[in-house]
Structure 1
């Protein structure tokens, strides 16, 4: 009599048996009195392996109202799934399908971000999910989550923004401005982070940690003070916030001994026009004054009178000469 072994069962499934071997295997499968053998050993925990075989058996197709794997002999019941499937490779495939993927933690879903772009000549105000109030100046961009999670409250800023941060001791509020980061728990501060300017932090209330990413230079800035990221990569302290420096969020344009070249940049963002200074000697002239909700022509008339220059103003272009 031919002895039925796991190797012979494998040959049977692959169609490699002789007629006599095939007859012996089919007689073994049909005869519950014949001696059974144990299934091949896999490198898995015993209890978990038993569960997997049982799970696989339950997935087998039903024939004649009875599951094909529902055999009375326990060893045959454990082995039959491997016979009915596609050999050893199929057994591995099913185990990979049923087996949990290691102990890796599930990858958290990315938090969707909203983006607010404020064009030059405009300003915007919004309240974030945590109650933080944000004012954005012209030419600014803010990326923020619709709902803050349990950890750090992170937003990204390009341009200028004033933040009145809702206090939350367990969730620091961080503004990523590219080259610098600003971290607070709850306070009010102004951050200027236009791409073509040094980043400037001015703290109106509370305390803020200001850091340069490239050098790890960090400074704690208290209320009424500020710090500027210099081109050298270091932080320069500002002992006192310039008078009316934060008036922009109230619609007031303020200059404190600003050079005309600096004023031109502010006018471009404030009114959404391109500004060209044709006389180089005018660029270093300075001006002090403020304008509340004033049209551009009013501002230019005052500047031209004080600095003694001429200008041409069209819809989107200002030329100073």
Structure 2
């Protein structure tokens, strides 16, 4: 699926039919060395098909030649330097196209980094609650407890941008000419039309899980990867590194169906989830309990005490619930 997607972008690039959203993804892919083998393979295997769409005039060839020779990666030796670009091999011309002219890159960066208006629409899910909302373009967003989504009032115009803190599930309406971008701190997730989950609570790693479609994820400098259905991309804020794994997306999106899913989590991670889910402060009286791993699931309307009774048996701890504070002890320890 990933290689087919890149190939389709290549074909559209050759015929100058990339939408703004596709061009953003394409620019990130060809700027990422990790995708170089795929692009090279496609060029080698599908070149006869791709080259039919290229038609450069003598003037265009000379302009491209001047820009390419400024880049050491494509600079030929003096004895091989031709008068016009049309004497360079066709594949090198294609490689030049894949680099995208400097003018195009500067234009795209300046266009998509215009100052954002101060007029926003804010959606917020309080602690202990989960909400769903329809965005102006018809896309739907589900917000988990303690999460906020902010959009510009001009959201429905040229570009659709969302600023997320916390966790949200998006079901995005497909619109080729209007990119849909989700900003979570230093990470940006771009989609054309898909359904996926983004978790980006403060001080936690960022997680992107795709249920349907394909999304591209990038940081401030590079494309981190293309995420397909039943894949999860995780980004470590501290080390600024990412990793991808195959998962069952349903386990990460069950909360939108009012199911509390604790899938292979530590007690520390579970406490953070329970704190938001039930709007309660949780204190560990024994730090070693934080490392206990377990899996459990509960319906949305399960009382906190019922959840605690089950988890405490699994992880062998006692607890004391007083007003909005939950204290967790090692079993048998004095309270």
Report TM bin, short chain.
Answer: 0.5 to 0.7
Partner of 2:103: none
* Alpha-carbon shift at residue 307 of structure 1 (Å): 1.7
- Partner Cα distance (1:108, 1:271) in 2: 38
Q: Please give the alpha-carbon distance, in whole angstroms, between the structure 2 residues aligned to 1:108 and 1:310.
A: 52
Match of 1:313 among 313, 318, 321: 321
**Does the alignment pair 1:207 with 2:214?**
yes
1:227, CA displacement in angstroms? 0.3
Deviation at 1:147, TM superposition (A): 5.0
For residues 183 and 109 of structure 1, what CA distance do their matches in structure 2 show?
A: 18
Q: How does 1:1-321 map to 2 (within 5 A)?
A: 110=117, 112-146=119-153, 148-213=155-220, 215-230=221-236, 231-241=238-248, 244-293=251-300, 294-321=302-329
* Equivalent position of 1:89 in the other structure: none
Structure 1 Cα separation of the partners of residues 309 and 296 of structure 2:
13
The answer (yes or no) to whether the contact 2:136–2:156 under 8 Å persists in 1 is no
- 2 CA distance for matches of 1:302 and 1:233? 37
Q: How far apart, CA to CA, are the structure 1 residues paired with 2:121 and 2:279?
A: 24
Per the normalisation by structure 1, the TM-score is: 0.63
Runs of 5+ in structure 1 lacking a partner?
1-106
Distance in 2 between the 1:306 and 1:195 partners?
28
1:197 deviates by 0.4
**Are the equivalent residues in 2 in contact too, given 1:123–1:137 (CA < 8 A)?**
yes
Shift in Å at residue 315 of structure 1?
2.4
Distance 1:234 1:302, change over 3 A: same
Partners of 2:134 and 2:199 in 1: how far apart?
A: 19
Contact 1:217 1:234 in 2 (8 A): no
C-alpha displacement of 1:241? 3.5
**CA offsets, 1:21-63, max 9 Å, x none?**
xxxxxxxxxxxxxxxxxxxxxxxxxxxxxxxxxxxxxxxxxxx
Q: Does the aligned pair in 2 maintain the 1:226–1:241 contact within 8 Å? A: no
CA contact (8 A) 1:212 1:229 kept: no
Match of 2:20 in 1: none
| Structure 1 Cα separation of the partners of residues 242 and 316 of structure 2 | 37
Q: Secondary structure at the match of 1:244?
A: helix
3-state SS, counterpart of residue 264 of structure 1: helix
Equivalents in 2 of 1:128, 1:261: separation in Å? 34
TM-score, length basis structure 2: 0.61
CA distance in 2 between partners of 1:108 and 1:242 (Å): 35
Structure with more of its chain in helix, by fraction: 2
Q: Identify unmatched segments of 5+ residues in structure 2.
A: 1-113, 330-335
| Deviation (angstroms), 1:289 | 1.2
Please give the alpha-carbon distance, in whole angstroms, between the structure 2 residues aligned to 1:164 and 1:109. Answer: 24
**Distance in 1 between the 2:213 and 2:307 partners?**
34
Shift in Å, 1:247: 0.5
Give, in whole Å, the separation in 1 of the partners of 2:199 and 2:115: 33
How many residues are treated as equivalent by the alignment?
214
Task: State whether residues 129 and 147 of structure 1, in contact with CA within 8 Å, keep that contact through their aligned partners in structure 2.
Answer: no
Q: CA RMSD in A?
A: 1.9
Most deviating of 240-249 and 108-117: 108-117
Shift of 1:313: 0.8
Q: Deviations over 1:203-260 (max 9, x none)?
A: 00000001112x4242111111120002321221122246522101111111122111
Deviations 1:168-205 (A, max 9, x none): 01001000111100000110010001111010000000
Instruction: Determine the C-alpha separation between the residues in 1 that align with 2:143 and 2:305.
Output: 24
